[in-house]
Amino acid sequence: MSPSVISLIGILLGMVILVFLAFKGYNVIIVSVIAALVVAVFAGTDILPLITDSYMTKFADFAKNNFMIFLLSAVFGKLMGDSGAADAIAYSMLRVVNHVHSQRTKQLVGGLMITAIVAVLTYGGVSLFVVIFTLISIGRKLFEELDIPWRHYLTFHGIGSATFTMTMLPGTAALQNIIPTQYLGTTPMAGAAIGLTGAAIQILLCVLWAAFILKRARARGEGFRPSGEAVKAAYRDEDEKKAAAGESQVGIPLLLALIPPVVLLLVLNVCKLHAVIALSCGILVCLILFGLILRRLDNLKATLAAGAVNSISTIGTTCAVVGFGGVVAAVSGYQLILGSLTSIPGPAIFKLIIAVNVAAGLTGSSSGGLSIALENMQDYFLGLGLSPNVIHRIGAMSSGGLDSMPHVSGFVNNLQVCRLNHRQSYPSYAMVCLVIPIVTTCACAVLLQLGILPAV
């Protein structure tokens, strides 16, 4: 058996260990090191350089290139949450549900309102890991009132956070849309027609799936309980404190709440400035509007500190899986995988889809997998005749497929917040965040090949 094949076995074994231990709830940073050691052992070379050089270099490089974006997005999201702006946006949109009379339709509209709220917040620059904490109270109350199975909450949440706003809609401040600009010299609006078409297909298929799972739940007589028992018990004290304090649902007018994310998007996409500058402008507007004028930031020090701590935790986990991917990319088995990808017959665009999905699946991170794929293969795809805009948009869309494996840290965190487990939520979540995004990306690739979509 050749060393490359043995190394490939090590990669697969490392992936299994990474998925299994993460599935069991072990810390992803520790798990990534263990999995990297397994890959290194099977590589047939010195183990120490693979850990101290390959792992740590990729870990540090990703932190160096993206730390400010993580930090500023976390602080921005925390300011939006603590000021009450995020709640103002959410409750304003939720009023629409009250105009629906049919209980069956009301369930679907209610679930999709969560999707819409998440989509607005994430497209506006609020970090994914902040949104889950911001909306958990709204979501559980809405799902209980409409008797929607709680185990499907992450399905509706995932549609809005981990699909079209993350990788498809042009102009989004999501990291997956920013990373290609660093490698290809493109803008966040690259491949606009491709992204908008993909978003339309993604939304349509997800709505059909959502209607199906709700219909199936009603046929089974399943409601908010039993899957909602744990989350209801976990937040009972919080509900009692809010009720005792007579807390108002809406504090900031909707138009004022929308100002910071609108400013962020305008600076990023109209002024064509860097994401760091756009996020800084959004933060400045939050501080002036919510802090100085409206006096909604009672403990600014705590808000800023919490945002910083959240950013460290998140980027640390992401850097860890990128570090694992760095070890994988440094061994001969990975080159065997890449070599097989370049030898796959068919159009170059499908090679791109496969390459990015494999990288995202290997690392368990959409941003990490996209970074690895572009760093190692951008010249190859450019040489095949793909334009930078196509590589940008199709690459970003492809990163949102196999990144939704069970071991992904973001999904594990969401499960813990929602008091759910993999068995309850993952099958439906995987359909909207893994299966449908891959189908959507392939559909856009076909439309590109047929000349229906422009390659700009």
Is the previous residue joined to 226 through a cis bond, with omega within 30 degrees of 0?
yes
One DSSP character per residue, 38-96 reads HHHHHHTS-HHHIIIIIIHHHHHHHHHHHHHHHHHHHHHHHHHHHHTHHHHHHHHHHGG
Note the pLDDT tens digit of each residue in 25-51: 788 889 889 999 999 999 988 899 999
Please report the pLDDT score of residue 243 as a whole number.
53
Burial class (CB in 10 A: 0-12, 13-18, 19+), 381: buried
Q: Give the residue numbers spanning the domain of 244.
A: 3-450
| Rg of the chain on CA atoms, in Å | 22
Please report the pLDDT score of residue 447 as a whole number.
96
The reply to whether 187 falls in a domain is yes
Q: Note whether 366 and 166 are within 8 A (CB).
A: yes
Please report the pLDDT score of residue 152 as a whole number.
95
Q: Which two three-digit tokens encode residue 254? A: 């909707």
Predicted structure pTM score: 0.77
Note the pLDDT tens digit of each residue in 217-232: 999 999 998 888 887 7
Q: How many domains does the chain have?
A: 1
Note the pLDDT tens digit of each residue in 364-381: 788 888 988 898 888 989
The reply to whether 456 falls in a domain is no
Q: Count CB-CB contacts under 10 A for residue 81.
A: 21
Q: Note whether 72 and 240 are within 8 A (CB).
A: no
Q: Name the nearest CA neighbour of 179 among 69, 324, 307.
A: 69
CB under 8 A, 24+ apart: contacts of 342-349:
342/380, 347/445, 347/449, 348/381, 348/384, 348/385, 348/386, 349/386, 349/390, 349/394, 349/445, 349/448, 349/449
The reply to whether 62 falls in a domain is yes
Residue 331: DSSP 8-state: S
Q: Name the nearest CA neighbour of 195 among 444, 451, 427.
A: 444
Q: Name the nearest CA neighbour of 32 among 48, 21, 46.
A: 21
Look-up of token digits 């620059």: 125
Which residue type occupies 249?
Q
Q: Which two three-digit tokens encode residue 360? A: 């995202």
Look-up of token digits 């805009």: 389
In which residue ranges of the chain is pLDDT below 70? Answer: 127, 129-130, 133-134, 137, 235-250, 338, 341, 409
Distance (Å, whole) CA 180 – CA 186? 7
Look-up of token digits 């290997």: 362
Which residue type occupies 450?
L
Distance (Å, whole) CA 190 – CA 187? 5
Q: Name the nearest CA neighbour of 214 among 428, 432, 438, 436.
A: 428
The reply to whether 12 falls in a domain is yes
Helix/strand number for the chain, H first, E second: 22, 0
The reply to whether 145 falls in a domain is yes
The reply to whether 455 falls in a domain is no
Q: Note whether 43 and 7 are within 8 A (CB).
A: yes
Please report the pLDDT score of residue 134 as a whole number.
66
Q: Which two three-digit tokens encode residue 276? A: 């760091």
